[in-house]
């Protein structure tokens, strides 16, 4: 499986709480019988006030704990589907990066052997540009383009895959498209 487990060292570093301590705190709070949302809420109550983005870290702790107790596989979303991502950085501003992306993928009849189930969509905000597509195999892709210094980071997020292997196939496909895109 090409999907990594949660990074327990990153959780410990960010929260100042070692993973074995997290497990003790969560078990003491009955986390084994709680829903994902309830585990995240419980974790949130233990995150020190000085931690940046405590809600995000509480979610990370909940996912890692669910993996620890074999309730969730690495890369598995709460709904049981799988997700993954690939990314690259290009020397372009947000609008240029999105325009280059659209040119790279427009006119394709198939993506990884699957057709679009509806036309792809683009959108944006002050800080981000997006391209979204739904495919005939039930998977979805969202391209997030954000600034990274003077360059743009292009991340392709794959969601709604039925298996980790399906995520791996899509990641391989999107790496090829990113290579074309950067070319």
Q: Report the pLDDT averaged over residues 37-43.
A: 97
Confidence of residue 62 (pLDDT cuts 50, 70, 90): very high
C-alpha of 33 from chain center: 26
**pLDDT (0 to 100) of residue 92:** 95
CB atoms within 10 A of CB 85: 18
Statement: residue 3 has pLDDT above 80: no
Distance separating alpha carbons of residues 131 and 75, to the nearest angstrom: 22
Q: Read off the pTM.
A: 0.75
Statement: residue 4 has pLDDT above 60: no
Domain layout of the chain by residue ranges: 8-68, 82-182
SS3 108: coil
CATH topology of domain 82-182: TATA-Binding Protein (3.30.310)
Percent residues over pLDDT 90 in the chain: 87
**pLDDT (0 to 100) of residue 2:** 43
C-alpha of 175 from chain center: 15
**pLDDT per residue as tens digits for the range 145-173:** 999 999 999 999 999 999 999 999 999 99
């Amino acid at each position: 499986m090409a999907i990594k487990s949660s990074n327990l060292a990153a959780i410990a570093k960010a929260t100042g709480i070692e993973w074995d301590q997290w497990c003790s705190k969560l078990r003491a709070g009955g986390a084994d019988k709680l829903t994902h949302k309830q585990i995240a809420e419980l974790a949130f109550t233990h995150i020190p006030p000085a931690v940046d983005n405590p809600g995000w870290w509480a979610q990370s702790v909940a996912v890692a704990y669910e993996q620890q107790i074999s309730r969730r596989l690495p890369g598995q979303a709460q709904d049981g589907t799988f997700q993954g991502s690939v990314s690259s950085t290009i020397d372009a501003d947000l609008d240029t990066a999105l325009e280059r992306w659209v040119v790279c993928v427009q006119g394709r009849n198939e993506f990884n052997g699957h057709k679009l189930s509806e036309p792809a969509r683009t959108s944006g905000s002050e800080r981000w540009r997006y391209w979204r597509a739904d495919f005939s195999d039930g998977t979805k892709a969202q391209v997030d383009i954000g600034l990274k210094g003077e360059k743009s980071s292009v991340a392709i997020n794959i969601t709604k895959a039925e298996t980790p292997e399906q995520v791996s196939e899509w990641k391989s496909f999107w790496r090829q498209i990113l290579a074309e895109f950067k070319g």
